[in-house]
Structure 1
């Protein structure tokens, strides 16, 4: 078993100014903790980006009009900052570490949880967490092998119980359970 876990905390955006600052698309609920000056993050590159860096040190971080601006060590010009665009930033955490807010969760804590409906019946398992612009989505695989996405919002996921190993989804027709006409193989009635 690994002694530490990596979590995605951000993606480097466009340069800001001429001294090497960059915008960061924050992917963590703890940006002050993850982007603290003196910290170091592991760097990975998506398919369309190349880099020789494997990690990068944080020199400074500040908020400007709702956007996190970060200056990294050894990056002092707009051109050097532009070369970082698109890189993904990862922090290393201990396996038992949890976010400070009890209503927040790391992706690895959610993947593998059993999914129950409001009556306590198992309706699936969390297979992935997708981070969208508007909200996060839980990928759920049902016992019959279907994959579906559930918005990770309190109205649809009222309970997350890590200790018990499950979460509750307030299922709606077609959200996790199929529509009635899908389960019997029939077509919906026209004009009804």
Structure 2
């Protein structure tokens, strides 16, 4: 039986680079060398057109991608703005301890310091300084820095995380 997979966003194609069909990539993965390995099968665009990675390289801090069958600037321009997806085993987790994929965090129940369920993780924002959890509390979004001091308990297998008792973190109520 085949391992179940999930479709995971790994990048967005930017402008063509040069004349031979290379594209710049706005990365949406911390593992570009793994997700864009030469020979890897990826899905491009809304319809998920299957394509194969021919080559990648870093050039002046920009990730460049060559795809099989995309051999000139015109063909590359036609892909500009397309999202790039990978099929990833549903049970795959990052190699390093203390690291998590967004899909492991989104949907987790959020508990306050007393253990009461107050909301769910709606999304994860990746900012230059630190990642932020977007927590939905009855339709109101709160941003919680994803650091151990503020998220001391994280148990994806049990389906929840717990947020520290910090005034104003989960509500605007002065008594919180």
Let me know the Cα RMSD of the aligned residues. Answer: 2.6
| Structure 2 residue aligned with 1:137 | 132
Residue 32 (str. 1) matches residue 33 (str. 2): yes
Q: Which of 81, 85, 98 pairs up with 2:80?
A: 85
SS of equivalent residue, structure 2 residue 170: coil
Q: Which of 132, 145, 153 pairs up with 1:151?
A: 145
For the pair shown, which has the larger CA radius of gyration, 1 or 2? Answer: 1
Counterparts of 1:44 and 1:151, CA distance in 2: 31
| Structure 1 residue aligned with 2:21 | 20
| Structure 1 residue aligned with 2:6 | 5
Counterparts of 1:73 and 1:110, CA distance in 2: 34
In the TM superposition, what is the alpha-carbon distance from 1:145 to its structure 2 partner?
4.4
- Indicate if the aligned counterparts of 1:37 and 1:59 stay in contact, CA closer than 8 A: yes
Counterparts of 2:18 and 2:166, CA distance in 1: 48
In the TM superposition, what is the alpha-carbon distance from 1:63 to its structure 2 partner?
1.4
Residue 101 (str. 1) matches residue 96 (str. 2): yes
In the TM superposition, what is the alpha-carbon distance from 1:110 to its structure 2 partner?
0.8
| TM-score after normalising by structure 1 | 0.77
Question: Residues 171 and 19 (structure 1 numbering): CA distance in 2 closer, same or farther, change over 3 Å?
Answer: farther
SS of equivalent residue, structure 1 residue 178: coil
| Structure 2 residue aligned with 1:180 | 174
Counterparts of 2:45 and 2:149, CA distance in 1: 35
- Indicate if the aligned counterparts of 2:48 and 2:85 stay in contact, CA closer than 8 A: no
- Indicate if the aligned counterparts of 1:7 and 1:90 stay in contact, CA closer than 8 A: yes
Q: Cα deviation per residue 1:24-67 (whole Å; 9 max; x = unaligned)?
A: 1111111111000001111224xxxxxx7612210001112222
Gap runs ≥5 in structure 2: none
| Structure 2 residue aligned with 1:166 | 160
In the TM superposition, what is the alpha-carbon distance from 1:148 to its structure 2 partner?
2.1
Report which of the two has the higher share of strand.
2
SS of equivalent residue, structure 1 residue 80: helix
Question: Residues 155 and 95 (structure 1 numbering): CA distance in 2 closer, same or farther, change over 3 Å?
Answer: same
SS of equivalent residue, structure 2 residue 91: coil
